[in-house]
């Protein structure tokens, strides 16, 4: 399959660079982030794959499921030999959805019982990452 770096693709790549503040072009695909990520086995795309697809400007990434699984635990950043903060990149992909009101969390679906027993920090953090 041939991937063409259209102007749309370049625009997407640049947008992610600005929003995350990270230069993903220096990633050489060592896979350390994917090996460290505790959610990797549940993700539709591995973190290192996500980085590669950003290098290729693949806008469809904003529809992937893996970006919502990242909990910004920073295992990836701690181990990346190029010091790329992959969590920031995941956050940028989330923000592109959240800023268009495409949330990944519905307050109405949480049971009253759960709301009673959960520590507030869980709800606060969840709302910050999964809703706008």
Contact, 55 vs 24, CB < 8 A?
A: yes
Shortest distance (Å) from residue 7 CB to other proteins: 23
* Residue positions counted in the chain: 132
Residue 2 beta carbon to other proteins: minimum distance, rounded to whole angstroms? 32
Distances from the Cα of 102 to the Cαs of 87, 113, 119, in angstroms? 19, 26, 25
Cβ 120 to other proteins, closest distance in Å?
5
Binding residues (CB under 8 A) for other proteins: these are 18-21, 38-39, 42, 69, 71-75, 77-78, 85, 87-88, 91-92, 95, 104-107, 109-110, 112, 114-131
- Cβ-based nearer residue to other proteins, 16 or 27: 16
Closest CA to 105 of 75, 69, 76: 69
Please give the Cα distance from 82 to 87 (Å, whole number). 14
| Closer of 53 and 70 to other proteins (Cβ) | 70
């Amino acid at each position: 399959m041939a991937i063409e770096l259209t102007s749309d693709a370049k625009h997407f790549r640049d947008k992610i660079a600005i929003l995350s503040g990270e230069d993903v072009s220096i990633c050489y695909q060592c896979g350390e982030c994917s090996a460290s990520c505790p959610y990797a086995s549940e993700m539709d795309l591995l973190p290192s794959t996500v980085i590669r697809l950003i290098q290729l400007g693949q806008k469809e990434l904003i529809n992937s499921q893996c970006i919502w699984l990242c909990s910004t635990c920073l295992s990836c950043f701690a181990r990346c030999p190029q010091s790329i903060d992959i969590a920031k990149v995941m956050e940028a992909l989330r923000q592109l959805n959240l800023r268009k009101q495409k949330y990944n969390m519905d307050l109405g679906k949480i049971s009253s019982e759960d709301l009673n027993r959960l520590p507030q920090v869980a709800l606060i953090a969840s709302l910050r990452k999964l809703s706008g």
